[in-house]
Amino acid sequence: MPDIHARFSPSAAKRHMECTPSLLLEEQFPSATSQFAEEGTAGHALAEHLIKKYLKIRSKRPTSDYYTDELVEAVDDYVDYVKEQIELARSECEYPVFNVEKRVDVSNYADNCFGTADMVIVTDNVVHIIDLKLGKGVPVYAEDNYQLMIYGLGILEEYEMLYDIYVVRLTIHQPRLQNINTWEISSTGLKAWGNEVLKPKAALALSGDGDFVAGEHCRFCRAKNQCRARAEEYLRLAQLEFKKAPLLTDDEILEVISKADELSKWAADIYSYAQDEAINSGKVWNGYKLVRGKTNRKYTNEVDVKKAANEAGYNDIFKKTLIGITDMEKLMGKKKFNDILGDLVYKPDGKLTLVPESDKREAVSVSTAADDFKEEI
Ligand code: SF4
């Protein structure tokens, strides 16, 4: 959930700690909401309601135009996981504490730092913070996740007097990517990080000091389209001093691909900023113009089309298609779906993609045509 109005916001902490002057620079730009953010807020509201209902806390089911079957199913996945964790806590601890959408204050470590943790479970020795991420693009991981670590510090402050908490468990649940991952840190380790890393970095950020550092954390920075540090970082690629040989070496290719992904995202951001200015503010960029893209023909009214086609003697004008796997599973229920269609559903291998070593997905080894040939002889 967005941390509304916190100046040092846990959800933006990674960026403001890696690039400390970004906090003040971003304040020059209005914060814009997006359709994805609004959908996320609606999804979180539904999750909150369903968990409260499970805990027998009064709550009214929210309504939203964003509630598609797909979103509701993603939220249900998360809620099922939270229910499991609630039951686990009940079996392990006599008086567990359950907090849904828990406001967390971390101002002892960073001025004006507070946020909302989606789900917090406190048992005798463990604090478990569970965060729902509804993004479908990039997987998010719990390990060294500054947002969740900051929530952990706030929860420790609040509950340490009542419980002997040794472990802070952090979980990211990203149902649309089937990504559930958990990371644990000792409460002493977390507090050491809070004092030695968070505190000084947050102080730098809040005073606008430090150096601009571009990187993956620029993705959601409000200054990213006009940021000079980011532009300089990516333009350095164009100035790589390649050796004079006619072909690039493996090392030079590695240098290019290590930056290519970020470089193309940066170029796309700048392009979309310039286009947005031209469309919405009438900005004229020398040498560029606005044009209309290609479109496909559409029926103005399907009822009229059917009538006109039938009157002209064309009746075979509809086609039937099988409903999708998600809809079929919903129709039959998970168990029946598995019994009836389990053997008729498969998951094809994903397309092979070259990614950096740091990517958490398991590496795939491929055999080349030459290897296959070797095995046959
Ligand atoms: S775009 Fe990146 S480098 Fe520039 S201010 Fe934002 S976080 Fe810092």
Note down the domain range covering 276: 225-281
- Give the model's pLDDT for residue 369: 47
Are residues 111 and 188 part of one domain?
yes
Do 42 and 151 belong together in one domain?
yes
Q: Is 16 in the pocket of ligand 1 (CB under 6 A)?
A: no
**Is 185 close to ligand 1, i.e. is its CB under 6 Å away?**
no
Q: Are residues 88 and 57 in the same domain?
A: yes
d(C-alpha 45, C-alpha 336), whole Å: 30
Lowest mean pLDDT among 185-199, 212-226, 291-305, 360-374: 360-374
Is 15 near ligand 1, meaning CB less than 6 Å away?
yes
Q: Which of 99-108, 263-272, 314-323, 365-374 has the lowest mean pLDDT?
A: 365-374
Q: Is the pLDDT of residue 243 over 60?
A: no
Mean pLDDT value of segment 104-113: 94
28 CA distance to ligand 1 middle (Å): 13
How many Å lie between the centroid of ligand 1 and the Cα of residue 146? 17
| pLDDT tops 90 at residue 197 | yes
**166: enclosing H helix or E strand:** none
Mutating to test ligand 1, I would choose from 9, 218, 273 the residue with most ligand atoms within 8 A of its C-beta, which is 218
Among 143-157, 234-248, 261-275, 309-323, name the most confident range.
Answer: 143-157
Per-residue pLDDT at 368: 53
- 122: domain CATH number is 3.90.320
How many structural domains does the chain have?
A: 3
**44: in domain:** yes
Whether 163 and 103 map to the same domain: the answer is yes
Does pLDDT of 375 surpass 60?
no
Choose among 1, 187, 182, 11: nearest CA to 81. Answer: 182
Residue 289 has pLDDT above 70, yes or no: yes
Task: Report the DSSP beta bridge partners of residue 185.
Answer: 168
The closest-lying atom of ligand 1 relative to the alpha carbon of residue 227 is: 4
Q: Which of 20, 25, 146 to mutate to test the pocket of ligand 1 (most atoms within 8 A of CB)?
A: 25
Q: Is 266 in the pocket of ligand 1 (CB under 6 A)?
A: no
One domain, residues 130 and 231: no
Regarding the beta carbon of 223 and ligand 1, being less than 6 Å apart is answered yes
Task: Indicate if 183 and 252 belong to the same structural domain.
Answer: no
101-110, 166-175, 289-298: least confidently modelled range? 289-298
**Does residue 121 sit in the same domain as residue 235?**
no
Q: Are residues 195 and 77 in the same domain?
A: yes
376: in domain? no
| Range 99-123 average pLDDT | 95
Identify whether the C-beta of residue 199 lies closer than 8 Å to the C-beta of residue 8: no
- Measured between alpha carbons, how far is 114 from 127 in angstroms, rounded to an integer? 18
Same domain for 58 and 19:
yes
Q: How confident is the model at residue 245 (pLDDT cuts 50, 70, 90)?
A: low
Distance CA 207, CA 204 (A): 5
> Would you say the pTM of this structure is higher than 0.85?
no
Give me the mean pLDDT over the 353-373 stretch. Answer: 72
Residue with CA at minimum distance from ligand 1 atom 1: 224
- List pLDDT tens digits, range 314-355: 999 998 899 999 889 889 988 999 999 999 999 888 888 888
Mean pLDDT of 105-121: 95
Q: In what order do the strands lie in the sheet with 114-122?
A: 97-105, 114-122, 126-132, 167-174, 179-186
Q: What is the DSSP string of 341-353?
A: HGGG---PPPPP-
Using the predicted structure, report yes or no on whether residue 99 has a pLDDT greater than 50: yes
What pLDDT, on a 0 to 100 scale, did the predictor assign at position 377? 45
Q: Taking residues 115-131, what's their average pLDDT?
A: 96
CA of 150 to the centre of ligand 1 (A): 21
C-alpha 204, offset from chain centre: 26
CA distances from 167 to 92, 127, 183, 189 (A): 15, 6, 10, 9
Confidence of residue 367 (pLDDT cuts 50, 70, 90): low
Q: Is residue 291, in this structure, part of any structural domain at all?
A: no
Say if residue 20's pLDDT is above 50. Answer: yes
Does the structure show a pLDDT above 50 at 376?
Answer: no
Ligand 1: which of 17, 18, 19 to mutate, judged by most atoms within 8 Å of the beta carbon? 19
Helix/strand/coil for 194: helix
Give the Å distance between the CA of 278 and the centre of ligand 1: 23
Query: Which residue has its alpha carbon closest to ligand 1 atom 2?
Result: 218
For the stretch 62-90, pLDDT in tens is 999 999 989 999 999 999 999 999 999 99
Q: Do 114 and 262 fall into the same domain?
A: no
Q: What is the spatial distance between Cα 326 and Cα 206, in angstroms, rounded to a whole number?
A: 46
Whether the pLDDT of residue 110 is over 50: the answer is: yes
